């Protein structure tokens, strides 16, 4: 018996199976007590191993996606933000737009849930085994400028073109200088009709000329970005402020709207 246990242990290690060793003895006892068939017993073990493997895969892909936080669609309170139609977001969560290499843009003031929704869709995409990478516009441009100086721009561009879904958060919080805007354009152009982008911005499209310091470049960027795309315009109150109000950071006389 000892020999079998040791041999099994070795086999599991060799195969890289980590879940079965944890549950083997309990499953074996239960199977004996319940008179389950050998096939049924084996099936139960393998299903557990496969499910653990899937969980490990999702965890690894989530780490690689660089998400700023972990928030799901179920954690989004659609009641609080009526300008976000739940049906539309659930439809986007089918990820047809990723399958078709289309883009998605969330526009709206700070705190209305743009990043939350982008992250939630990213998590759905990871579950469906799409590759995802999240970056802020600022980090994206800095990384590209650094890569340009280090002569690694080709590799970096390839790394940013490869994921099925690239999320570029917070366009418009800072203006871009000429080289930054140029690199930004290149990413959009490289991914055009080859991979999806989710983009968030606090500025309406009309103000994008200012962000890029060049209205011709802004038009070229918008042209490619919006050709196959959906825009979700979020109009509403900041969720962060709602939470602060609840906690009493705002005095009633400074409020111009009723709290719940
Ligand atoms: P922004 O639009 O500035 O990107 P975020 O998406 O980061 O804002 O939202 C700010 C915070 O408020 C996050 O913690 C987010 O999870 C939360 N939040 C925003 N809107 C909602 C909502 N409708 N339901 C639940 N949480 C929300
Ligand atoms: Mg945000």
**18-29 pLDDT, tens per residue?**
999 999 999 999
Q: Decide the pairing of beta strands 196-201 and 103-107.
A: parallel
Q: Decide the pairing of beta strands 103-107 and 229-233.
A: parallel
Rounded to the nearest angstrom, the distance between the alpha carbon of 147 and the centre of ligand 1 is 32
Nearest residue (CA) to ligand 1, atom 26: 76
- State the Cα–Cα distance between residues 225 and 198, nearest whole angstrom: 10
The pLDDT, as a whole number, for residue 1 is: 56
Q: Please check the confidence at residue 254 and state whether its pLDDT lies above 80.
A: no
Could you give the percent of the chain with pLDDT greater than 70?
A: 95
The pLDDT, as a whole number, for residue 2 is: 65
Domain 66-254 coded CATH 3.40.50.300: yes
Band (pLDDT 50/70/90 cuts) for residue 241 is confident
Mutate to test the pocket of ligand 1, among 89, 116, 236 (most ligand atoms within 8 A of CB): 116
- State the Cα–Cα distance between residues 14 and 2, nearest whole angstrom: 18
Nearest residue (CA) to ligand 1, atom 23: 77
The pLDDT, as a whole number, for residue 242 is: 79
Q: Give the residue carrying structure tokens 């139609």.
A: 85
- State the Cα–Cα distance between residues 244 and 237, nearest whole angstrom: 12
- State the Cα–Cα distance between residues 237 and 113, nearest whole angstrom: 10
pLDDT in tens, 102-156: 999 999 999 999 999 999 999 999 999 999 999 999 999 999 999 999 999 999 9
The pLDDT, as a whole number, for residue 252 is: 52
112 lines ligand 1 (CB under 6 A): yes
The pLDDT, as a whole number, for residue 231 is: 97
242 lines ligand 1 (CB under 6 A): no
| Domain residue limits, the chain | 2-64, 66-254
Give whole-number Cα distances, 179 to 38, 78, 141, 214, 216, in Å: 66, 39, 9, 11, 14
Q: Please check the confidence at residue 244 and state whether its pLDDT lies above 80.
A: no
Quote the strand ranges of the chain, DSSP E: 103-107, 132-136, 165-171, 196-201, 229-233
Taking the CA of 72 as reference, the closest ligand is 1
The model carries a pTM of 0.87
């Amino acid at each position: 018996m000892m020999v079998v246990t040791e041999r099994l242990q070795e086999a599991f290690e060799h195969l890289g199976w980590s879940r079965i060793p944890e549950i083997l003895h309990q499953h074996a006892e239960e199977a004996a007590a319940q008179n389950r068939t050998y096939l049924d017993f084996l099936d139960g073990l393998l299903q557990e191993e496969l499910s653990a493997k899937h969980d490990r895969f999702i965890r690894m892909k989530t780490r690689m996606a660089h998400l700023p936080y972990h928030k799901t669609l179920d954690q989004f309170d659609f009641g609080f933000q009526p300008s976000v139609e739940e049906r539309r977001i659930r439809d986007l969560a089918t990820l047809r737009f990723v399958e078709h290499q289309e883009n998605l843009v969330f526009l709206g003031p700070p705190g209305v849930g743009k990043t939350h929704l982008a992250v939630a869709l990213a998590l759905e995409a990871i579950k469906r085994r799409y590759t995802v990478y999240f970056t802020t516009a600022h980090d994206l441009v800095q990384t590209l400028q650094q890569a340009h100086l280090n002569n690694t721009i080709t590799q970096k561009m390839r790394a940013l073109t490869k994921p099925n879904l690239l999320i570029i958060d917070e366009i418009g919080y800072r203006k871009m200088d000429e080289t930054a805007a140029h690199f930004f354009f290149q990413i959009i152009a490289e991914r055009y009709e080859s991979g999806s982008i989710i983009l968030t911005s606090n500025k309406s499209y009309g103000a994008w000329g200012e962000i890029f310091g060049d209205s011709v470049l802004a038009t070229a960027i918008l042209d490619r970005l919006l050709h196959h795309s959906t825009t979700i315009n979020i109009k509403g109150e900041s969720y962060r402020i709602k939470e602060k109000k609840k906690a009493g950071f705002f005095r009633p006389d400074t409020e111009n709207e009723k709290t719940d």
